[in-house]
Amino acid sequence: MDATAMQDAETVITKARLGDPVALEALYRAYSGPVYNLARRICRTTEDAEDVLQETFFEVCRSIRNYRGDGSIWGWIRSVASSKALMRLRRNRYRETDELDAEYVPSAKEASPGLRMDLEAAMDRLTVTARAVVWLHDVEGYTHDEIAEQMGRTVSFSKSQLARAHSRLRVWLGDEATV
């Protein structure tokens, strides 16, 4: 993604794999933005997203020796980031006894066709699981198989979450009135 931001990406990656701190920091500078954006879109709070960012790069520093260069470095870092973000959602569920998979029932006002919500607000209204599926699938380009594997759920779970989320977004964004 932002590999162009790194001078001589291959050299940086090679040095980072040897534990070179300057190279690791270069990786952070190049990819912290996309990682944070992914984390912030999946997690509820900026604090959680910052924790995910830190966890991700801590894992990158520890495990980059295992990166074999099969795919892009961003693909590898992104898989670490999404895994950490989903782990954070699971941890919050246990901590807050927040049922992530519970249906969100909009109030009568929110469900009103006359109300126009912007996309950011509509995404925030989704359950955290649904929002994560929408972001990972529609924006980051993960397949349902990959999302199911990362979430420890089935492919049909991922598909139904995406469909339900889009149905809600369609209502909240006010598209249904013109159909």
Partner 1 sequence: MTTSHLTMEQLLAVRDGDRSEPAYADAHQHVGECDGCRLELDRLHQRTARLRALPRMTPARNQFPAVRTRVVAERRQRRLRAVGIGGLAIAASLALVVMGRDLVQPNRLDAEQQIATAKSESQQLEQKLHDWDPQSRVLNSRAAVMVMEIEDRIADLDVRLAQTQESDRQLVLWQQRVGLMNTLVEVHLTRASNVGF
Shortest distance in whole angstroms from residue 69 CB to partner 1: 22
CA distance 4 to 92: 35
80 near partner 1 (CB under 8 A) = no
Helix (H, G, I), strand (E, B) or coil at 130: helix
Shortest distance in whole angstroms from residue 119 CB to partner 1: 5
CA distance 92 to 43: 10
Eight-class DSSP state of 79: H
100 near partner 1 (CB under 8 A) = no
**Sites for partner 1 among residues 119-148 (CB under 8 A):** 119-120, 123, 134-135, 138-139
Near partner 1 by CB under 8 A: residue from 57, 73, 132, 147:
57
| Assigned token pair, 15 | 């040095």
CA distance 53 to 158: 24
Q: Of the candidates 58, 104, 92, 88, which has an alpha carbon nearest to the alpha carbon of residue 150?
A: 88
Site string for partner 1, 8-37 (x = CB under 8 A): -----------x-xx-xx--xx--xxx-xx
Helix (H, G, I), strand (E, B) or coil at 31: helix
User: 70 or 122, CB closer to partner 1?
Assistant: 122
| Assigned token pair, 172 | 């909240």
Q: Is 95 exposed, middle or buried (0-12, 13-18, 19+ CB in 10 A)?
A: exposed
User: 94 or 177, CB closer to partner 1?
Assistant: 177
Q: How many residues bind partner 1 (CB under 8 A)?
A: 43
Tell me if 167 sits within 8 A of 153, measured CB to CB: no
| Assigned token pair, 102 | 């519970």
Shortest distance in whole angstroms from residue 50 CB to partner 1: 6
Near partner 1 by CB under 8 A: residue from 15, 44, 50, 100:
50
User: Which positions lie near partner 1, rule CB under 8 A?
Assistant: 19, 21-22, 24-25, 28-29, 32-34, 36-37, 40-41, 46, 49-50, 53-54, 57-58, 61-62, 119-120, 123, 134-135, 138-139, 159-160, 162-164, 166-167, 169-170, 173, 175, 178-179
